[in-house]
A and B are shown apart, each in its own frame.
Chain A
Amino acid sequence: MSEILTKSRARNIFYGGSLFFIVVFVIMTIHSHRYVVNVSTAGMPLSPEVILGKHVWERHSCINCHTLHGEGAYFAPELGNVMTRWGVLDDPEAAFETMDGWMAAQPSGIEGRRQMPFFEITPEEMRGLAEFLRWADQTDTQGWPPTDAG
């Protein structure tokens, strides 16, 4: 190994090879970016309500208990398909009502059960949240999750 792979050759392989993989990665990223916009998330418009909902989701850091498309914390249920679970995926009004009812009932206060906090959320924001989760649920996630349990 010592004659064929000299230190300077190893260095060149490292820097040259890395550059190569970075370029490939960037090209694939550009393609993926377009695919997301035009294909996988195109099932429902990215409306102002959806965007507002995403901000509400972020402001309250829901991700540090829940997963969304399988990413986040593992303390509370997956929410990428919660609208499917509730059976309101195609019904914005029912989605809002169910969401509103759920949020109002927290925390449950049941002894020995994980608690979700109560959040101060205006009706407009609540509608956004419901729309955001409906939007996420219609994303083409290659068939994930395996069951509706999330």
Chain B
Amino acid sequence: MKYQSQKVAYAYFLVAMGLFGIQVLGGLLAGWVYVWPNTLSELLPFNIIRMIHTNALIVWLLLGFFGAAYFLVPEEAECEIWSVKLAYLQLIILVVGTLGAVGGYLVGIHGGREFLEQPLWVKFGILVAAVIFLLNISMTVLAGRKTAITGVLLTGLWLLSLLWIFAFINPDNLSLDKMYWWFVIHLWVEGTWELVMAAILAFLMLKLTGVDREVVEKWLYVIVATALFSGILGTGHHFYWIGLPAYWQWTGSIFSAFEVVPFFAMMSFAFIMVWKGRRNHPNKAALLWALGSATVAFFGAGVWGFLHTFHGVNFYTHGTQITAAHGHLAFYGAYVAMNLAIITYAMPLLRGRAPYNQVLNMVSFWLMTGGMAFMTFVLTFAGTIQTHMQRIVGDYYMDVQDQLALFYMMRLGAGVCVALGAVLFIYSQVVVRREIITPNTMPKAEGETA
């Protein structure tokens, strides 16, 4: 840690990991209810469980992004954060808002737009927190060195905060409501968040592989250009069947098909940097998470997104378990794993010790990634059967679901695996143990330098 103020990231990461735990437990419970549907059905119905699961996810990912920004911007800008106090104030607002929202959900206080169920005062709190954050981080960047990484990161964070305005816009007309809802949801995960992800990835590659900044930053611009060029009009892939004009079918199909490009580019970028890199960084777990994230994002978002993005396919698969399969692997690969990558990289520095508990951390990577992959496969099979029975044969929804019981049992098993991985990850970050392996004890391979 080169700058004292980077320490605020520590608090953000701790809260993020706490909410990550809640998210995974919520998911586990939801998966359990799919198998044993009478569980808690009157005390804590499925809709409440799901709300906690998705909201905790979104908030902890955002906290992770904020933490990542507070960690990497001082290093990039080569100066301290403008106001450490504001950074903590922002965190407090977000924690109070989150606890208020979750508490409210438990007693039945919530809105009804998916993912945006937070009561108005919490939405407003998020807005205030975002403004504080943007002010703080922009002032920091303005005071120091300007790099492509901070430029792209800030562009992403500014735009995603601006899009939050649409969380307040809820027209009475359902089709309009849905159209503007996607301005937040789609333009977050397939636009602005990709900028944040790519910036974090570029930062990690810079630090972990030691490749020239010029090379890294040129890649970064190419990646984010392909992301926005495809992703903005790609929003059309959600506009096929909600009452919008038919021209979105071709617009959405063509542009969203190109959304696989930035994810492929991020994966290629990560591997090429590692091959080219001359640095043998001791934090192998961070490298594993960074490479893993880029790879799983390519499959979850790129391939599984492509799978159902053409309107001819989406006509049949829209709103089935296929969607669920894709949503899970995409969020995990792109945003969960990239957050865990920057946390894995930053925590040893923030706590002032060498990379520790790396083996446990890497085991957690394989547990979580394996679990998520298996979950995606079983949901894809379930979704295929569902699509055929319900959308082609025309069997009634509940009858079809009864046929999918076996898949839901396997998905619960996958969920247990992921939950174990998550607990192990948090343990490896928070609990201090002696490091088990010493890096660089292997004899160097021929031709290997440094």
Contact = CB atoms under 8 A, between A and B. Distances in A.
B partners with A: yes
Interface of A: 5-7, 10-11, 13-14, 17-18, 21-22, 24-25, 28-29, 31-33, 35-37, 40-41, 46, 50-51, 54, 57-65, 67-78, 107, 111-115, 117, 132, 135-136, 139-150
Interface string B10-32: 00000000000000000000000
B175 A142 contact: no
Interface string B32-50: 0110111001100111101
Contact of B38 (A33, A46, A69, A112): A112
Contacts of A69: 174, 178, 241-243
Contacts, number: 211
A71 B242 contact: yes
The 6 closest A-B pairs by CB, nearest first: A58-B112, A70-B319, A64-B47, A144-B241, A147-B394, A10-B221
Contacts of A17: 225, 228-229
Given A61-B51, A144-B240, A11 B117 contact: no
Contacts of B401: 114
Contacts of B241: 69-70, 141-142, 144-145
Interface string B392-411: 11111110110000000000
A146 B221 contact: no
B47 A115 contact: no
Interface in B93-117: 110-114, 117
Contacts of A107: 41-42
B239 A32 contact: yes
Contacts of A139: 174-175, 242-243
A112 B123 CA distance: 37
A121 to B, nearest CB: 13
A49 to B, nearest CB: 12
A14 B224 contact: yes
A11 B229 contact: no
B172 A65 contact: no
